[in-house]
Every structure is written in C-alpha cells, then in structure tokens.
Chain A
Amino acid sequence: MFDKVLIANRGEIALRVARACRELGVRTVAVYSTEDRDSAVVSYADEAVHIGPAPARRSYLNIAAVVEAAKQTGAVAVHPGYGFLSEDPDFAEVCGQNGLVFIGPPPEVIAQFGDKSATRRLMAATGLPTLPGSADPLQSADEALAVVERTGLPVIIKAVAGGGGRGMKVVLDQAELLPAYHLVVSEAQALFGDGRLYLERYLPAARHIEVQIARDTYGNAIHLGARDCSVQRRHQKLIEESPPPLLPDHLVAQMGECAVTGAKAVGYEGVGTFEFLLDADANFYLIEVNCRIQVEHPVTELVTGVDLVREQLTIAAGDRLSLEQAEVSCRGVALECRINVEDPDRSFTPTPGRIEEFVLPAGPFVRVDTHGYPGYRMPASYDSLLAKLIVWAPTRDQAIARMRRALDEFHASGPGVRTTAGFLRRVLAAEEFRAGTHDTGLVDRVVSAAEPQ
C-alpha cells in the first residue's frame, strides 16, 4: 500500500478519501485554496499544502500546483475525488510522468470516456445498447437536422465534453432544434472549452439507473449492483438509492454484465460507473461512463458492504479485487439525500455563507458524509453540496421512514443560508416516490405542486 497519498480535491469527498486512507494506515496530504484554509480536511489530513487562491482554475484545477505539492510532500499517489481534475486525462498523464500513481483509470481510458460521442461509438461497437443518435460529433446545425429526421423527436443535444448535468438541452419540437443547437454550442464552449456536440433520442419518462463496477490491474472485474438516480432537478441528482426500486434482479444482472463487458473492452482499471436510461418497456441504453468515484457511491457501499474508496486505493496500489462476483450480494435498501445550500423557494438559488447552527442526525443505520461543522463558512466559489445523508434499512419503506427521521434531525442555518432539506422531505413524501414508480420528471412535479398558492 502507498505510504502517502495526496488528495486533489475539497469538501466532503476530500474528507471521505482521507478517512479511507487513515483506515489503511496511509498518510494523507490535503491541498487547499485560500478560501478553504479553514476546511475540515485541512485539519484532518496529516499535512496540508496551500495551492492557490479561491478560483478553482488557479488552485484545484492547477495541475502544476497539485503535482508540485505531491512532489514536495513526498506523496506517491494522487486521489482526484470527483469533479475538478478527476476526469482530466492530461492530469492523469502528468501524474504518471512525475512518478505519481493516479488513482483512477489509465489516461487513454479517461480520454475515451470523456468524449461522450466516442463513448457511444465505442460501446455500441462492443455490443452495448445505445440510444439512436449521431455517430460522430455534429459538424453543423444542418447535420443535426438530418440526424433528427432519422431518430425522430424528442432528442437531447449534449456537449461531447459535458458532465455534471451541464451543457445539454432537450428538444421537443423541430422549431427548437436550431436555437437549442446554437445555445448548447456556446454553453459547451464556455463551460468545457469544447463546442462539439452530439445528439441522441430523448426518453422523457425514463429512469436513470447506473451500475457500479470495479476492475483490478489483473483483469478481474465485478459489478456491485445498481443505483437509481431518477430524482433529479435539471440533470442534477438529489436522491439516490440502491437497489433501484421495482427493478427485477435479472435486469440488474444484465446491466451489470454489460458494464463489465464495456469495462473489459477498454482496459478499465479502478472503480467506475456505467450510466443507463431505462424506458417504460424495460429497455436500457448506455448514456455515459464515469471514470471517478461518484457522489452517490455510499448507497452501494451500504448495500454491498464494500468500501469503494478503499477498493480504489488497493487497486491502484496493485492489489487484487477484495472479492469476486459470486461474493457480491446486495442486502436491504440504502437511500442518499444530497443536502445543498440552495433556496428551493427561489428556484434553488445558491445560498453560501456561515453555518452557525449545524446539527447532524445520528442513530441506527444513519451515515452522514459532510465537511460542515458549526461555524463553517460555506464558500461561494465552489459547489453547493453541504452534506449527504445516507440511511440503510432492510426494506424500502423502512429506509424512507428512517430518512425522514434523519432529515427531521438535521438542522443547518446561518445568515442568508437555506438548505434543500425541507424540499427533500416533500420529495420523499410524494406518492410516486413512495411507490417507487417515479421517473426523472418527479422533481418538476413536486416543484410545480408547491407553486400555485
């Protein structure tokens, strides 16, 4: 195992990784921007290195600064967390060139899956089901029109380099296609520095199901069940669960086999996620592959008993997978609620600031992953995720009841600070969520149900 690992991230995931390292006896180096100097991971880690000012571009995205910090502190490996440099093939490559182990798949694999259009082409060639759409990045708006002739409407236009629910637009009507095309081009250019787009058929009432996989450097691969992430607002996930409700085991197994096949085809190493859309007729289609640990990984951990971050570290250190496919079993139901500092009554406007009151739930089968503490100042420069509440129970009904109990115990407040906790309670109470029949349209329905008054 590594002697010392640098954590190239911030917030709750930096702390999550530091904890896994500590359990393995691995020393940790945190990096931080000026605005994060009082963050939880900075005091938790064995060492901390200041790498730049608040803007991520000049700190958490500054490859030179991160690599230098690793070299100066004698770290031998780098864990990138999620977001920031986690899916930047250049970063993975520079780590390698500097004698640092990048904890994630090889740079070529990250590059292939980072290009969503290439992912579609590559995975279709491997035999995985994909949605009808463009085979290559679109060259022009006219080509988009031609593809739509073939696929029919609605379609979704997406940035090839997109991610995090940004740089995409649904087109329901032929007349919206050209404006949408131009809008997403400029958005993609601004957000990702890459204006290339692709499009595929849009499934309005689909469920978002993703499969967790792990593959070691010896070619052993497993899948660790599926997660349902259908509770989304504007393509941002709010509640995730495992296993997906009402999804027959044989479908989970089929999707799992597809994911493992895809992972083997590209020489994947580490943990990863294959995201699928599932339509009402139980057809599933691969939409993208994520080469990082995901925000919602804890629900898989609670049902399988596998520590995924530990698995990332051991795989990167050259160990074999800690278990075989036959040993993977999913027990009970786990739910995760993402609590963001946002105001649900003002279209989820971010509300960073000082969190004066911060009370966390506890009790049986409740896990909280957070970097918050009483007095913590949630910076305005980064994302709005404050805490992840995760619960486990033998049945889904009990898990929902437990989550509602945990949400009731959660309190965070401060000047100007609002959280999504109350809104999440309303989603949990929605009849279709309780029944497990919801799809990606649920949040909009809960929002609009609250509006007319």
Chain B
Amino acid sequence: MTTRLPTPGRPPEPARPPQPPSLTDSSAAPEPVDGAGGPPADLDQVRRQAVGLLADLERPPRTLRIRAGAITVDITWPDGSGGPGDGSGGAAEPAGTGADGVEAAADGSAVDHLTSPAVGVFYHAREPGAEPFVSVGETIRTGQQVGIIEAMKLMIPVEADRGGRVTAVLKANGQPVEYGEPLFALDAPPAGD
C-alpha cells in the first residue's frame, strides 16, 4: 500500500469542518481524520517538519509515514523481531521502547527466556492496578501463570513452559507482542524442576 495524498484539485474546504451535530456514541472521542480538517499543509513545511522530527529521534526509524491534509505521523522501529514489511513494531511507539527487551536479553550470557505463545497485547497483571503475576527475583515453576495476552477480545493466560528465577521483565505492561518474542529472562532452572 502506498500513502495516498489528498486528491489534487480538490475544491478548497473550510478549515476544520464542523463535527456532526448529534454524536450519541459518547465512547467515541472525535478524532481527526486523515485528509480531513486543516488546510493542506505546504509541502515545504511538511518536509522541514519531517527533517526536524528525524533529527529529534534517538535512532533512525525503519519507516516514517507522514500524511498531509490532517496530520498523521506514523513511525515504525526496526525491532529485530520481524522481517521487512513487519508492521508489528507498534506504530508511533515512543522512542526508546521497542528494542529495549532485546538489548536487555543480550546483556546476560546464558539466559533462558519465556517467550510469547501468541500475538496480542501483553499484560503483567490480572487487572489494572493488581499485583503482577511475577516480579524480578521471583522463582517460578513450570505451568505457573506469568501473564495474560489479549487477542481478539479474549484473555489468554500465559503459563511458564519452564521454571527458573526471573531476572528481567522484557515487555512492558500493555505492550503488543509477537509470537515467540521473549517476555521474561530467566536464570537456569533450579535442579529438579
């Protein structure tokens, strides 16, 4: 898919057309629509903003999509877990996350990992504010629940497929995860587990 810019020659539009009058879906916070609203940005200005944005980033992104019309900036990071074209890095993640888990894992020499059994959103605890299932320093057993992955509106329990002492939690609460991505780093399992 290529980024589509607003059709040239479109008749001029009023800045920020009024929102529909009776939006009864209170849950749906009105949100800018691409190509909607504001006066089409001047191309040169867009370019300058993009260069400025890139200069502010701590490391080069894999892709940067900018859409004129109404502003959408969409950044993906090379996070190592997916191949080219992997849109999974989590769009517009704040700089600095993404690759952290991988780096942390690379620090230890002989670490073991608990990996994600599914694609979805990873949660540390049963519900917001609750105690996490496991914390750093804790020793876990095979079969113990260590987290939850939300996929397709279902909460799937994540169980440890091996035991050991947790040395790092590699994915933040509420972060998207890919299948097979490391979630926790473990020390070698205790004998007899």
Residues of A at the B interface (CB closer than 8 Å) are 34-35, 37-38, 42-43, 47-53, 57-58, 61-65, 67-69, 71-73, 88, 90-91, 93-94, 97-98, 193, 349-354, 375, 377-378, 380-384, 415-417
Contact = CB atoms under 8 A, between A and B. Distances in A.
Contact of A90 (B4, B13, B25, B33): B25
A49 B34 contact: yes
Interface in B166-193: 176, 178-180
A356 B74 CA distance: 25
Contact of B23 (A42, A57, A63, A72): A63
29 contacts: A34-B92, A35-B87, A37-B87, A38-B85, A47-B4, A49-B35, A50-B33, A50-B72, A58-B29, A63-B20, A64-B31, A65-B30, A69-B33, A69-B34, A69-B36, A90-B23, A90-B24, A98-B20, A350-B154, A352-B120, A377-B88, A378-B119, A380-B119, A380-B121, A380-B152, A381-B152, A415-B180, A416-B118, A416-B119
A68 B22 contact: no
Contacts of B30: 62, 64-65
Nearest to B27: A57
Interface magnitude class on chain B: 35 or more
Contact of B28 (A37, A38, A58): A58
Q: Is the interface of B mostly helix, strand, loop or mixed?
A: loop
B67 interface: yes
B129 interface: no
A72 B36 contact: yes
Contacts of B87: 35, 37-38, 377
B156 A350 contact: yes
Interface of B: 1, 4, 6-7, 13, 17, 19-25, 27-31, 33-37, 67, 69, 72, 74, 82, 85-88, 91-92, 117-121, 150-152, 154, 156, 176, 178-180
A350 B22 contact: no
A73 B34 CA distance: 10
Contact of A383 (B6, B21, B152, B156): B152
